[in-house]
């Protein structure tokens, strides 16, 4: 297996995690900037302009050729998730490792993530999960933890590739899940309950939650679930019981 280079490029934008807080999540983002260099500079900028618009960082940035930039020590808190929620927890910077993936994003020509980048993410995530004993259901997208506010890494990110290599979960629905899917699609209350059980924020509109779920599990930008995607929700919801 090819090993991708790791370049140390320290960011000053971090602080200490709250004492005793376990590191139990990985949150994937896209950079949403026109070039990798521009993104790297933004993630490491603590100048006056950055202070005005908000200093940001991540623990790692993965370029399209697979090169990994190590920006913040894993034991420190990087500033990547912002206002966030998952399974009753807020301020997920406290408990997560943030990985930025170089991609121009929806504003600058969003495109699929190249194979070398995906392979590098797998290698990096495998080592992080091993070090911190992170459960695979806690490998999340920014849009999962901040629906409506964020949409990265987006519907073109290949979650299936990661899941096939043991990173994250892409559930395979069983026959019972298709029965549940039909129920979800005819009962907004049941659909909302299932999404909340998985981990999504109960305070947000159902359309935003569906869109976030589609970004991760449906490879679409739709605010409505298909029958197949609703079955995936059922399978995932059963794991959360």
Q: What is the pLDDT of residues 40-86, one digit of tens each?
A: 999 999 988 888 888 999 999 999 999 999 999 999 999 999 999 99
Say if residue 153 is preceded by a cis peptide, omega within 30 of 0. Answer: yes
d(CA 13, CA 174): 45
Using the predicted structure, report yes or no on whether residue 239 has a pLDDT greater than 80: no
Q: What is the pLDDT of residues 167-192, one digit of tens each?
A: 999 989 999 999 999 999 999 999 99
Q: Sheet containing 25-30: give its strands across.
A: 6-8, 68-70, 60-62, 96-101, 25-30, 139-141
State the catalytic residue, choosing from 100, 155, 176, 228.
100
Query: Is residue 100 flagged as an active site residue?
Result: yes
Taking alpha carbons only, the member of 221, 208, 222 closest to residue 105 is: 221
């Amino acid at each position: 297996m090819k090993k991708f280079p790791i370049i140390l490029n320290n960011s000053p934008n971090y602080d200490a995690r709250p004492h005793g807080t376990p590191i139990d999540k990985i949150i994937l983002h896209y950079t949403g900037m026109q070039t990798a260099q521009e993104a790297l500079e933004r993630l490491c900028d603590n100048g006056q302009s950055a202070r005005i618009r908000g200093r940001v960082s991540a623990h790692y940035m993965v370029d399209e050729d697979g090169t990994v930039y190590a920006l913040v020590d894993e034991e420190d808190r990087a500033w990547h998730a912002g206002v966030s929620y998952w399974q009753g927890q807020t301020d997920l910077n406290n408990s997560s490792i943030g990985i930025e993936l170089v991609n121009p994003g929806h504003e600058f020509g969003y495109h699929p993530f190249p194979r070398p980048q995906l392979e590098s993410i797998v290698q990096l995530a495998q080592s992080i999960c091993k070090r911190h004993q992170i459960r695979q259901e806690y490998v999340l997208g920014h849009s999962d933890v901040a629906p409506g506010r964020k949409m990265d890494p987006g519907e073109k990110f290949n979650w299936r590739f990661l899941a096939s290599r043991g990173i994250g979960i892409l559930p395979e629905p069983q026959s019972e899940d298709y029965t549940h899917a039909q129920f979800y699609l005819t009962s907004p209350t049941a659909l909302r309950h299932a999404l909340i059980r998985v981990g999504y924020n109960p305070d947000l509109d159902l359309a935003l939650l569906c869109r976030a779920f589609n970004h991760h599990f449906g490879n679409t930008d739709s605010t409505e679930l298909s029958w197949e995607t609703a079955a995936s929700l059922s399978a995932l919801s059963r794991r959360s019981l």
